[in-house]
Structure 1
Amino acid sequence: MSQERSAMSHPFDRRTFLRGVGVSMALPWMESLRVWGDQPKGRTASSEAPVRLAVLFSGNGYHGKEFWAKESAQGLEFGQVLAPLNEFRDKALFIKGLYNEQALKGNIHSSQTGNLLSGAPLAAGGEIHSGTSVDQLLAQTYGRSTKVPSLVLGCEAGNPSVHKNYSMIYSSHISWSSPTTPTPLELYPALAFDRLFKDEVQKGDKSVLDAVLADARDIRRQISTSDQRKLDEYLDSVRDVEERIESAGKQGELQGWRPTLDKPNMPRPAEGIPQNIADHMRLMCDIMVLGFQTDTTRISTLKLNNDHSSLRFPHLNVDYMIHHLLSHSDTADWLKVNQFFFEQLAYIARKLDAIQEGERTALDNSMLMMCSSMMTGSHDATQLPVVMLGKGGGKIKTGKVLDYREQSNRQMCRLYLSMMDKMNVRPGTFGDATEALAEV
Structure 2
Amino acid sequence: MPRQQLSRRTILRGAGAAVALPFLDAMLPRTASAQAASAGRPIRSIFLGTEGGVWTGKDGFFPYKTDQDVERAKQWGKNEILPGGFVADTGKDFKLTQTLEPLADHREQLLILSGLRHKHDSIGNSVVNAHGQDLGTLLTGTNISGTPGVSLRNGQSADQYMAERIGRRTRYSSLELAVGKSSYNTREASTQGLMGFLSYDAEGNALPVEANPEALFDRLFTGGSAEDRTKRELDRTRRASILDTVLDDLSGLDKAVSKKDRRKLDEYGNSIRELERRIEKQREWEEIPINLPSDAMKPSGYEGYATNAGDGSGRVEQMRLMLDILALAMQTDVTRIATLRLGGYFGTFKFLGFPENPHNGYAHNAWKDSGGAQAIDRLHVEQLAYLLDKLSGMTEADGSSVLDNSMIFYGAGLTNGARPTRGHDKSISHDPHGQVNTPVLIAGGAGGRLQTGRHVNFDDGTPLTNLFTTMMEVMDLPDQQFSDSTGTLNGLG
Taking structure 1 as the reference length, the TM-score comes to: 0.71
**Are residues 123 and 264 of structure 1, via their aligned partners in 2, closer, same or farther at CA, if it must alter by over 3 Å?**
same
For residue 392 of structure 2, what is the amino acid of its counterpart? D
For residue 259 of structure 1, report the CA deviation from its aligned partner: 13
2:176–2:208: 8 Å Cα contact kept in structure 1? yes
Within the candidate set 401, 407, 412, 1:367 is matched to 407
Contact 1:114 1:173 in 2 (8 A): yes
Task: Tell me the amino acid that sits aligned with residue 375 of structure 2.
Answer: K
CA spacing shift, 1:374–1:21, aligned 2, 3 Å: closer
Which of 97, 108, 113 pairs up with 2:130? 108
Shift of 1:405: 2.0
Is 1:95 paired with 2:113?
Answer: yes
Corresponding residue for residue 229 of structure 2 = none
Residue 305 of structure 1 aligns to a residue whose secondary structure is strand
User: Does 1:429 find its partner at 2:481?
Assistant: yes
Q: 1:411 aligns with which of 446, 449, 463?
A: 463
- Cα offset for 1:328? 1.9
Task: Name the SS of the counterpart of 1:426 in structure 2.
Answer: coil
Q: Are residue 146 (structure 1) and residue 180 (structure 2) matched?
A: no
Q: Is residue 246 of structure 2 the alignment partner of residue 250 of structure 1?
A: no
> 1:265 & 1:77 partners in 2: Cα distance?
39
Structure-2 change in CA distance of 1:54 and 1:434 (3 Å): same
Change (3 A) 1:112 1:336: closer
Task: Find the aligned partners of 1:348 and 1:94 in 2 and give their Cα distance.
Answer: 17
Mapped to 1, the partners of 2:466 and 2:90 lie a distance apart of: 27
* RMSD value, Cα: 3.3
CA distance in 2, matches of 1:303, 1:150: 14
* Equivalence for 1:62: 54
Provide the C-alpha distance between the structure 2 equivalents of 1:298 and 1:160, rounded to a whole number of angstroms: 25
Report the CA distance shift for 1:74/1:292 in structure 2 as closer, same or farther (over 3 A): closer
Distance 1:151 1:259, change over 3 A: farther
Question: Residues 319 and 261 from structure 1, CA distance in 2 versus in 1: closer, same or farther, beyond 3 angstroms?
Answer: same
Q: Is the 8 A contact 1:372 1:384 kept in 2?
A: yes
Q: Which string of whole-angstrom CA distances, capped at 9 and with x for unpartnered residues, describes residues 272-320 of structure 1?
A: 67441111111111111111111112111110225xx432113213222
Give the SS at the match of 1:176. Answer: coil
Partner residue in 2 for 1:319: 355
Amino acid in structure 1 at the alignment position of 2:58: K
SS across alignment from 1:182: coil
Residue 305 of structure 1: aligned partner: 343
Distance 1:297 1:83 in 2: 30
Deviation at 1:172, TM superposition (A): 0.7
AA of the residue aligned to 1:69? P
Aligned length: 351
2:454 and 2:315 mapped to 1: Cα distance? 32
Q: Report which of the two structures shows the higher radius of gyration computed on alpha carbons.
A: 1
Query: Does structure 2 conserve the Cα–Cα contact (< 8 Å) formed by 1:111 and 1:166?
Result: no
TM-score normalised by structure 2 residue count:
0.64
| d(CA) in 1 for partners of 2:36, 2:210 | 32
Matched, 1:354 2:362: no
Distance 2:104 2:337 in 1: 25
> For residue 174 of structure 1, what is the aligned residue in structure 2?
198
Which residue pairs with 1:387 in the alignment?
Answer: 441
Q: What is the CA–CA distance in structure 2 between the aligned matches of 1:335 and 1:57, rounded to whole Å?
A: 16
Q: Which residue of 1 aligns with 2:275?
A: 267
How far apart are residue 383 of structure 1 and its match?
A: 1.9
Unaligned 5+ runs, structure 2? 1-6, 11-34, 65-88, 226-252, 287-305, 309-313, 418-430
Give, as a single letter, the amino acid of the residue that structure 1 aligns with 2:138.
L
For 1:124 and 1:186, the matched residues in 2 are separated by 27
- Return the match for 1:335 from 374, 382, 389: 374
Identify unmatched segments of 5+ residues in structure 1: 1-19, 24-43, 202-244
Q: Secondary structure at 1:369's aligned position in 2?
A: strand
Once the two structures are superposed, residues 158-202 of structure 1 have per-residue CA deviations (whole angstroms, 9 ceiling, x without a partner) of: 426799x8543511111112334211111111111112112399x
